[in-house]
Amino acid sequence: FLPTTVIITAIVGSMIGSAFTTIATVGVALFGVGTAMGFSPAIMAGAILSGAIFGDKSSPLSDSTNLASSVAETDLFAHIKNLMWTTLPALILSIIIFLVIGMTHDGASVANNLKLAKLLDPTWWTVVPLVMLFVMAWLRIPAIPTLLMNIIVSTVAFFFHGNATEFSNVLMNGFKTDSSNVILQSLLNRGGMMAMMGTVIIIMLALALGGLLTEQKILTAVMAPFAKRIKTGSGVITGTVLSGIFANFMIGEQYLATILPGQLWKESFDRVKLDRLALGRSLEDSGTVVNYLIPWGVAGGFAAQTLGVPVIEFAPFVFFALLSPVFSLLSAWTGIGVKRVSD
């Protein structure tokens, strides 16, 4: 069940381009099923986040992926393709680890899940938005038009079964089921814009702090001397990865943890004749994924609030986020998958 959880969230995350949305929808459902089978909440959260982060990192619709590509000034789809050198090994090893954990687990029961399955009645039109996302991403249609089209399709589909009042209520307060089944209520009765306000406030405060650190050039003053002295490709990539991790701990916001190291190390990549694709991948392997392991980070706080598990408990089990920087450093030191600017 654990490796299946990683694969499902990875697929959904890749199709919708958002780890947050994946965690708060299919992730919540898998969390309820997994804990009902007797798995630890921390382990379930780790499996869900591992797949969701991979999906977010590998999708052309992802905000963080588009951001890293923009900061590095590279083609989006070339950036995603280059990510696979470190992203796929981290995912495969994570799946193997969860497979081993699952094989050693005792006491799992599917009785509650079989009862739950009888209450669910999926329809064909629920697949239409996901199919559209996949097709439009395959055709390399930009993220914003793709998302707008799917919002329109999903809204039209909703009005086949509800009215404008119900629609606005779901947007603000989330979906509420009429079922008396306690398990179904815990899985479905959540969401809405109001539920996001705590996370939105953290984002605003993190961006404000990041603005101060950027304007006062505090992080630049700390890291710039190191960036200028490093003269090897492996050293530049290592510095970028460590800077992304450091920025996450300092600011707690993955966007700024991507932007600031990217601006700081961009000239160093040019100086040692490394392709900007290597910069984009280094930013993703540190600035993007590590934020889920920071208790005061926006992504970590959102996951903890959504799944009801403290960051400090699930962080050791988010193997994908832990392994991504490791494989990035291995790639830098061995030269495997590192693109250089041709003479």
- Per-residue model confidence (pLDDT) at position 279: 92
Residues 237 and 328: beta-carbon distance below 8 Å: yes
pLDDT digits (tens, 9 = 90+) for 290-329: 999 998 888 898 899 888 899 999 999 999 999 999 999 9
Structure tokens at 166: 């119900």
Res 140 pLDDT > 90: no
pLDDT at 343: 47
Give the whole-angstrom CA distance, residue 243 versus residue 248: 8
Q: How confident is the model at residue 340 (pLDDT cuts 50, 70, 90)?
A: confident
Average pLDDT of the segment spanning 121-135: 77
* Integer angstrom CA distances of residue 194 from 21, 169, 200, 205, 207: 15, 10, 10, 18, 20
**Residue 138: its pLDDT value, please?**
76
User: Which pLDDT belongs to residue 231?
Assistant: 81
CB of 309 closer than 8 Å to CB of 41? yes
Degrees to nearest 5, angle at CA 265 with 259 and 267: 120
The model's confidence at residue 124, banded by pLDDT at 50, 70 and 90, is: confident
More confident position, 14 or 110? 14
Q: What is the pLDDT of residue 107?
A: 61
Whether the pLDDT of residue 90 is over 90: the answer is yes
pTM of the shown model: 0.81
**What confidence score (pLDDT) does residue 112 get?**
64
pLDDT of residue 110: 67
* Whole-number pLDDT of residue 117: 67
Residue 162: predicted pLDDT: 81
Q: Which structure tokens are listed for 266?
A: 């961009």
What is the mean predicted confidence (pLDDT) over 275-287? 91
Phi-psi region of 174 (alpha: psi -120 to 50; beta: other; left: phi over 0): left
Backbone torsions φ then ψ of 145, nearest 5 degrees: -60, -35
Tens-place pLDDT, residues 5-39: 999 999 999 888 889 889 988 898 899 888 888 89
Q: Of 343 and 213, which is predicted with more confidence?
A: 213
The number of CA neighbours under 13 Å toward the Cβ of 191 is: 23
More confident position, 27 or 215: 27
Q: In this predicted structure, which of 31-35, 137-141, 262-266 has the lowest mean pLDDT?
A: 137-141
Mean pLDDT, all residues of the chain: 85
Pairwise pLDDT comparison (220 vs 231), residue with the higher score: 231
| Spatial separation of the C-alpha atoms in residues 50 and 284, rounded to whole Å | 14
Ranked by mean pLDDT, which of 67-76, 91-100, 176-185 comes out on top? 91-100
What does 220-279 look like in DSSP terms, one character per residue? HHHHHHHHHH--SHHHHHHHHHHHHHHHHHHH--HHHHHHHHHHHHHHHHHHTTB-HHHH
Quickly state the pLDDT bin for 183 (edges 50, 70, 90): low
pLDDT score of 46 more than 90: yes
Whole-number pLDDT of residue 115: 67
pLDDT cut 70: percent of the chain above it: 93
Q: What is the mean pLDDT of residues 203-231?
A: 77
Give the residue carrying structure tokens 């097709």: 135
- Give the confidence band of 185 by pLDDT, cuts at 50, 70, 90: confident
The SS3 assignment for 175 reads strand
Task: Show the CA angle centred on residue 303, arms to residues 300 and 306, nearest 5°.
Answer: 145
